Structure 1
């Protein structure tokens, strides 16, 4: 997909780039305002039209009744008795006056019923002998229940149509703004699952865009982990293959050749040495995997003073026999940390082993200083060796990285250290030491009870 297509697909301009909750709230408010405005405008218009149409209909009916009454009066020759019967059958009321305004006939209801009549227009009628009279006709008003029922019926039809229209508009907007991106994201996930197509990042700033970007980031992390796993397998395979080839070669010679006792012993010693190398590779790999199972590692509370004392008892005499000076300086003895001792012992054991193997110093000195910085207990470990070039300091904690040109080590020791500190909620980094060697700075959170 091109950048232009991506921009059109996940456009994030104006209010569309806001949070999804705000977008949904704005859509609902807009729908409510639109619905209210349309409903009020339509209903007021409907009431006006209904009132006008009702009035026009009543007046047309009344004019028609007046015309019929006038025609009947002309046909019966001014017989008011017959007119009485006609009016009674039609539920009409009438007043007849001559040209001078003299009352000739009147039929009106008595009492308050007369106030509930609806007046019609007048009609002029010609009687016998050329007399002309004016006929005024009234009919009963429309009943309240009839008017209410008719109004409710028509309003229900109109409001139903209006609500369907508003719902359709809101549904289309919700689909375009919310459902459609979610459907596209689902298809993107399916394409990655089925075909391995890497998802692209979204320009949207709402929750859907963040979900799209989080999925893209997750895919990137998974690919990096997969690449690291392949690299790890390839490296372990390489490290095992070299001593294993030597073991096979020496074993073949021991089986097929006539060797002197001295030569045989030399080959056996070489086989044993290579077997120990294989065991060290497997043990280091097991350590690397074991640190990953950190959720099951028990954590215990201990003071920094007790921790330093256990380290001194663990390594001081052994290092002294190897002619390595190991000094521990504890500046915050009463501070407390939560840690797994076996993992932390492995942490410092790997640091010590790394210094012994790579320091290349005439008389190796190792130092450990413990102090408090803010809410952290900081462990500073450094040696007086050759150190590491500054441009490589950020790489030494990566799995399989090693400065050994002959690749006699697997490069997992410092990576295990990093995993241990991460499991304890701490951090670890490297820098150049005060004496030119490597300085490792590790920190663990202080515990306050």
Structure 2
């Protein structure tokens, strides 16, 4: 699987995801999940606050009031018992009320007041009354004795309610914390732990990562990691192929060099003309090895262009420089080069040394494969919308349609005896990609191969 196949598969995956989007907040972005989680926590807090917490607070206040009322009722019963024991002596009842710090009143069955005592109390207080019935021997009907509880001051009520509210809020906070912690673990921490496990499985055991169906940031991160692994595996495979190809192409001429040199060293009866032939063969094979290494170095260098400086250049300057460098030399070799510049003032950013190699590789490729007599080359440059178009063509036989889509692949060649051949167009593609452009190839209707490079145009 080469880089082009990896890129095609990544684009297909993106199209599949766009055609089949997952619906639901579980597959949405983390920001969406956080927003939904906050809304859920707010709703849950409101429900707990309105339902459980307020009910608990009302129950606490009711218990406080019921406790005070129970104490008042018990106090009234005790006062009624005391009044009966003392035979209806109201002076004794007053002493009892003073001793117990309660207010007390006694009314007959008609409601007339027979006795009343009010203990001194603060205005900012709450008083709860309790009543009881008592029948004295010298009374015709039952008497009603009402006592008032020990005054409960505002600070005491506030303190009691505050303690109850504090306990309720602590329980509420613990519940909300547990809910938020569970949601945070399920939505964020657990996927991160699984993603870390995926990373570790790859770099420790070589297990390829699976793609995620999540559409949030974590899902995209795992899918990006899977794409990165595909690229890494593709590059590793390409490097293995590169090593094997270089080894194959160097081994054949190197074997010949070793054979001829061994004959020269071991044999003493080689005629002079034969010795010259062996030396020429050694020299030719050495040049072949050098050409292979140079081509290999050019390919490696083409992958390091990202850090190369680039400068503004007009199409007019670019075409004039190419013309001065190649036209006369090609004319001496019987090759015609026509250069047309339709938008001379248009500018683009480039590194000319790399673009010179781009043009040089295209010229060499045409000279080697066009098979046209005489060979005519044409370079046309123009601006189209926001792009600079560099169109290079020849009048050769073109490329068979079945291999046209493979000519930019590294190591592709129709020469079965060579494996590193074909790096020239791969270098051209790398150079154009480094300049932020794209490159295409097509056969011309009139014959010959046409290669177009699309580069971003820089507005003045």
TM-score normalised by length of structure 1: 0.92
Change (3 A) 1:92 1:268: same
Q: What corresponds to 1:247 in structure 2?
A: 257
Pair 1:401–1:125, CA change in 2 (3 A): same
- The answer (yes or no) to whether the contact 2:432–2:438 under 8 Å persists in 1 is yes
Do residues 418 (structure 1) and 429 (structure 2) align? yes
Distance 1:374 1:410 in 2: 36
The answer to whether the aligner puts 1:24 opposite 2:37 as a matched pair is no
More off after superposition, 101-110 vs 336-345 = 101-110
Label 1:113 to 1:394 Cα distance change in 2 as closer, same or farther (>3 A): closer
Question: Which secondary structure does the structure 1 equivalent of 2:328 belong to?
Answer: helix
**Residue aligning to 1:174:** 184
Contact 2:440/2:452 (8 A) holds in 1: yes
Whole-Å separation in 1 of the counterparts to 2:278 and 2:122? 134
Tell me what 1:340 maps to: 351
8 Å contact 1:204–1:210 — kept in the other structure?
yes
RMSD of aligned alpha carbons: 2.3
The answer to whether the Cα contact below 8 Å between 2:377 and 2:392 also exists between their aligned partners in 1 is yes
**Counterpart Cα distance in 2 of 1:157 and 1:295:** 64
Q: Give the structure 2 partner of residue 317 of structure 1.
A: 328
Say yes or no: does 1:356 pair with 2:367: yes
Cα distance change on mapping 1:168 and 1:274 into 2, 3 Å:
same
The DSSP-based 3-state class of the residue aligned with 1:407 is: coil
* Cα pair distance change 1:99/1:179, threshold 3 Å: closer
How many residue pairs get aligned? The number is: 439
2:154 is matched with 144
Q: Is 380-389 or 177-186 further displaced after alignment?
A: 380-389
What's the counterpart of residue 222 of structure 2? 212
Please give the alpha-carbon distance, in whole angstroms, between the structure 2 residues aligned to 1:358 and 1:178: 58
CA distance in 1, matches of 2:313, 2:426: 25
SS at match of 2:329: helix
**Aligned residue for 2:339?**
328
What CA distance in whole angstroms lies between the structure 2 residues aligned with 1:165 and 1:111? 43
Which residue matches 1:94?
104
Contact 2:296 2:420 in 1 (8 A): no
**Length-normalised TM-score, structure 2:** 0.89
Q: Matched residues in 1 for 2:351 and 2:274: separation?
A: 48
Instruction: Identify the residue that residue 55 of structure 2 maps to in structure 1.
Output: 45
In 1, the alpha carbon distance for the partners of 2:399 and 2:432 equals: 21
SS at match of 1:126: coil
Alpha-carbon shift at residue 448 of structure 1 (Å): 2.4
Contact 1:71 1:125 in 2 (8 A): no
> Match for residue 123 of structure 1?
133
Contact 2:390 2:452 in 1 (8 A): yes
Q: Output the CA distance in 2 between the equivalents of 1:338 and 1:276.
A: 36
Q: Does 1:108 align with 2:118?
A: yes
1:300 and 2:311 correspond: yes
The reply to whether residue 282 of structure 1 matches residue 268 of structure 2 is: no
3-state DSSP of counterpart to 2:128: strand
Deviation per residue, 1:365-406 (Å, 9 max, x gap) = 212112222222212111121211122122111111112233
Matching residue of 1:267: 278
Cα distance in 2 between the residues matched to 1:331 and 1:396: 28
Which residue in the other structure is 1:229 paired with?
239
Q: Distance in 2 between matches of 1:111 and 1:172?
A: 53
Q: Who is 1:8 aligned against? A: none
Instruction: Tell whether the 8 Å contact from 1:388 to 1:438 is kept in structure 2 after alignment.
Output: yes
- 1:48-102 Cα distance to aligned partner (Å, 9 max, x none): 3233323322222111111111111121222222222111011122223445655
Q: Distance in 2 between matches of 1:335 and 1:342?
A: 20
Tell me how far apart the structure 1 counterparts of residues 170 and 125 of structure 2 sit (CA, whole Å): 37
CA–CA distance in structure 2, aligned partners of residues 32 and 156 of structure 1: 20
Alignment partners' CA distance in 2, 1:131 and 1:344:
123
Mean CA deviation greater in 137-146 or 186-195:
137-146
Unpaired segments of 5 or more residues in structure 1? Answer: 1-10
Aligned to 1:390: 401
Distance in 2, matches of 1:408 and 1:135, equals 118
Aligned with 1:427 (options 438, 451, 457): 438
Aligned-pair CA distance for 1:285: 1.3
User: CA shift at 1:359, angstroms?
Assistant: 1.3
- CA distance in structure 2 between the aligned counterparts of 1:444 and 1:12, rounded to whole angstroms: 37
Task: Establish whether residue 67 from structure 1 lines up as the match of residue 77 from structure 2.
Answer: yes
* 1:304–1:125 CA distance, 2 compared to 1 (3 A): same
Give the Cα–Cα distance (whole angstroms) in 1 for the partners of residues 80 and 204 of structure 2. 89
Distance 1:84 1:397, change over 3 A: same
